[in-house]
A and B are shown apart, each in its own frame.
Chain A
Amino acid sequence: MAGFVLRRMLLVLPSLFGLLVVTFLLIRTIPADPAVALAGDNATPAQIAAIRESYGLDQPLPVQFLRYLRGVARLDFGESQYSGRPVALDIAQRLPATLELTFAALVIAIGLGIPLGVVAAMHHNRWPDFLLRIGSVAGIAVAAFWLAIMLQMLFAMKLGWLPLRGQLSAGLTPPAGPTGFLLTDCLLAGRFDLFLDAARHLVLPAVTLSLGGLATITRFTRAGVLDTLQKDFVTYERAVGFPRGRLIWVYVLRNSVVATVTQIGLLFGGLMAGAVVVESIYDWPGIGSYTVQAILTADSKVMLAVTLLIGLIYAAVNILTDVVHALIDPRLRESR
Chain B
Amino acid sequence: MRITRRDTAALAFAALMAGPMRGHAATPGLMVRSDGQPQSLDPHQVFDVPMMGYSLNAYDGLYRYQDNPAVLRPWLAESHTASADGLDWEFKLRAGVKFHDGTALTADDVVYSFRRVLALGKAPASAFLPILKPDSITAPDAQTVRFKLERAYGPFLAAIPIVAIVNAKLVQANVKDGDHGAAWLSSNEAGSGAYAFVAGSLTPAERLDLQRFAGHFMGWADNPSPVERVAMRTARETSTGVLGLMNGSIDWTDSYLPTDQVEQIQSSRAARVEKHSSLRTFIIRMNNARAPFNNANYRRAMAHAFNYDGFITEILKGYADRNTGPMPNPLWGAPKDAAGYSYDLDKARAFVKAAQAEGVNTRQPIRIHIQSQLEQTNQAAQLFQSDLQSIGINLRIVADTWANIVTATAKPETSPDMWIHWVSTYFVDPENWVGQMYDSRFHGTWKASSFYKNPEVDALLGRARDLVRQEERAPLYEQATRKIMEDCADIWVYNTVELRGVSNRLSNYRFCPAGGGAELRWLQLKG
Contacts and interface: CB of A to CB of B under 8 A. Distances in A.
Nearest to B38: A83
Contact of A289 (B23, B200, B206): B206
The contact size tier of chain A is: 35 or more
B126 A47 contact: yes
B186 A281 contact: no
Contact of A157 (B20, B32, B46, B243): B243
A50 interface: yes
B126 A290 contact: no
B307 interface: no
B479 interface: no
B123 A285 contact: no
B403 A82 contact: no
Interface stretch (B11-19, B282-290, B500-508): B11-19
B369 to A, nearest CB: 11
B244 interface: yes
A42 B406 contact: no
B239 interface: yes
B126 A84 contact: no
Interface stretch (A30-38, A230-238, A328-336): A30-38
Contacts of B15: 196
Contacts of B236: 280-281, 283, 289, 292
A298 B402 CA distance: 9
> Which of B236, B249, B373 gathers the greatest number of chain A CB atoms within 10 Å?
B236
A82 B204 contact: yes
B247 A164 contact: yes
Contacts of B403: 32, 36-37, 296-298
Contact of B45 (A40, A164, A290): A40
B204 A170 contact: no
The contact size tier of chain B is: 35 or more
A283 B523 CA distance: 26
B436 A156 contact: no
B445 interface: yes
A40 B121 contact: no
B231 A170 contact: yes
A285 B203 contact: yes
A161 B406 CA distance: 44
Nearest to A30: B404
A157 B244 CA distance: 9
A47 B22 CA distance: 53
A160 interface: yes
A43 B28 CA distance: 42
Contacts of A296: 373, 401-403
Given A42-B47, A45-B444, A33 B410 contact: yes
Contacts of B239: 149
A163 B233 CA distance: 14
Given A45-B445, A152-B240, A84 B247 contact: no
A150 B419 CA distance: 35
A88 B404 CA distance: 25
Contacts of B231: 170-171
A24 B47 CA distance: 29
B183 A84 contact: yes
B205 A164 contact: no
Contacts of B173: none
B426 A283 contact: no
Contacts of B187: 83, 85
A325 interface: no
B339 to A, nearest CB: 30
B255 interface: no
Contact of B442 (A30, A41, A44, A295): A44
Contact of B445 (A42, A149, A297): A42
Given A47-B126, A283-B236, A36 B249 contact: no
Contact of B125 (A47, A84, A161): A47
Contacts of A153: 243
B21 interface: yes
B243 A164 contact: yes
Contacts of B249: 163-165, 169-170
B244 to A, nearest CB: 5
A280 B36 CA distance: 13
A162 interface: yes
Interface in B200-246: 200-201, 203-207, 229, 231, 233-237, 239-240, 243-244, 246
A318 interface: no
A90 interface: yes
A31 B206 contact: no
Interface in A34-85: 36-48, 50-51, 79-80, 82-85
Contact of B237 (A199, A280, A298): A280
B17 A162 contact: yes
Nearest to A82: B39
B204 A85 contact: yes
A94 interface: yes
Contact of B27 (A162, A166, A171): A171
Interface in A187-211: 196, 199-200, 203
B410 A39 contact: no
A220 interface: no
Given A32-B401, A33-B407, A45-B445, 8 more contacts: A36-B406, A50-B121, A157-B246, A160-B22, A280-B236, A281-B237, A295-B401, A297-B402
20 contacts: A31-B407, A31-B414, A32-B401, A33-B407, A40-B123, A41-B426, A43-B445, A50-B121, A51-B122, A80-B204, A83-B187, A83-B204, A85-B187, A149-B239, A156-B247, A161-B19, A163-B24, A170-B231, A282-B240, A285-B207
Interface of A: 30-33, 36-48, 50-51, 79-80, 82-85, 90, 93-94, 149, 152-153, 156-157, 159-166, 169-171, 173, 176, 196, 199-200, 203, 280-283, 285, 289-290, 292-293, 295-298
Please list the 3 inter-chain residue pairs (A to B) with the smallest Cβ-Cβ separation, ordered nearest first: A40-B123, A171-B27, A84-B186
